[in-house]
Amino acid sequence: GIQVEQSPPDLILQEGANSTLRCNFSDSVNNLQWFHQNPWGQLINLFYIPSGTKQNGRLSATTVATERYSLLYISSSQTTDSGVYFCVDRGSTLGRLYFGRGTQLTVWP
C-alpha cells in the first residue's frame, strides 16, 4: 500500500505564528485530502487537493503530484487550530484511505 510520511510529528506554536506541515507519499498521489482532528476527536475535512494550490481563510495547501508531496500552510495560528493534522490519500481500492501518522499541533495563547 501507499506509505504516507508526515512531518514534523509535533509542533508547538505561539498564537499568531505561521507554520508549514509536510506530507510525502511513496507512490503517485491520487486523491489527497487534509483533515484536522480537533481535541474532541472530530475529523474535519480541510482540503481535497490532488494537485495545485487551494486557500481557505488562514489555511492553504499545495500538492505537487509529480514529486509526491503536499504542504499545508497555517498562517496567524489560533488556539482553535490545535489538534492533529492528517494527510490522506485514497488508493485505487474503494474506501481505502491511507493516513499518515499526523502532525500534533499545539497553539498556545
Partner 1 sequence: NAGVTQTPKFQVLKTGQSMTLQCAQDMNHNSMYWYRQDPGMGLRLIYYSASEGTTDKGEVPNGYNVSRLNKREFSLRLESAAPSQTSVYFCASRQPGQVIYGYTFGSGTRLTVV
Binding positions for partner 1, rule: CB under 8 A: 4, 31, 33, 35, 40-45, 48, 86, 88, 94-102
Closer residue to partner 1 (CB): 49 or 74: 49
CB of 15 to partner 1, least distance (A): 26
CB of 57 to partner 1, least distance (A): 17
Q: Is the CB of residue 13 less than 8 Å from the CB of residue 20?
A: no
Judged on CB neighbours under 10 Å (0-12, 13-18, 19+), 49 is buried
Q: Give dist(CA 2, CA 17) in Å, integer.
A: 32
Closer residue to partner 1 (CB): 17 or 65: 65
Closer residue to partner 1 (CB): 74 or 85: 85
Closer residue to partner 1 (CB): 13 or 84: 84
| Grid-cell match 495545485, residue found | 52
CB of 31 to partner 1, least distance (A): 6
CA-wise closest residue to 104 among 1, 19, 16, 47:
19
